[in-house]
Amino acid sequence: MYLPRKDEQRQFPKLIGHTKTWNTFNTSNLRDGKRKAETVSDDLFLRQFIYGTWHSLFVSELIIKRRHNMIILSGLVTRTIHPRRMYFLIGYTEEILSALLKTPVKIEIQTVENKDEVIFTYW
C-alpha cells in the first residue's frame, strides 16, 4: 500500500518536480504515445467520481498510478463511517470504474482517525 511520507508533503509547492514527484504521471504524451487525450480525461473523471462517491472522506490527494493496463487509486481516508460501509464503497467503486473504463481498477486506502493527523507544515 502507498502511504505518503510526511517529508514528501512538507515541500513547498514550487518545488514539485524538483524534489517531489507529481501525483499523476501521464507518459502517453511522449513521442508515439497512445491515448493522449483519453488519459487526461480519464484522470479528471476518476478524481470527480472518487470525490463524489467518497464525499468528504478523503483527507489527502488522490494518487493515480497506471501499471500496464491496471489503474491503482490510493489515498488517506478518515474513519468516520462504519467499516462495512467503507468495504461497500471500495467494492462499488472498483466494479463501476472497471466497467466504465474497461480496465481493472484497484483502490488502496489507508485510514486516519481525523483530518488533524494529516496536517503538514513547510520547513
Give the CATH number, domain containing residue 83: 3.30.70
Residue 26 lies in a domain: no
Residue 11 lies in a domain: no
Domain ranges, residue 72: 57-114
State pLDDT tens for residues 69-113: 899 999 999 999 999 999 999 999 999 999 999 999 999 999 999
Residue 22 lies in a domain: no
C-alpha 7/C-alpha 38 separation (Å) is 33
pLDDT averaged over every residue in the chain:
80
* Overall average pLDDT of the 48-64 stretch: 90
Number of domains in the chain: 1
Residue 102 lies in a domain: yes
What is the pLDDT at residue 39? 81
Residue 92 lies in a domain: yes
Order of strands across the sheet that contains 70-78: 63-67, 70-78, 105-112
Residue 106 lies in a domain: yes
Residue 44 lies in a domain: no
Residue 61 lies in a domain: yes
pTM of the model: 0.73
Q: pLDDT higher for 36 or 89?
A: 89
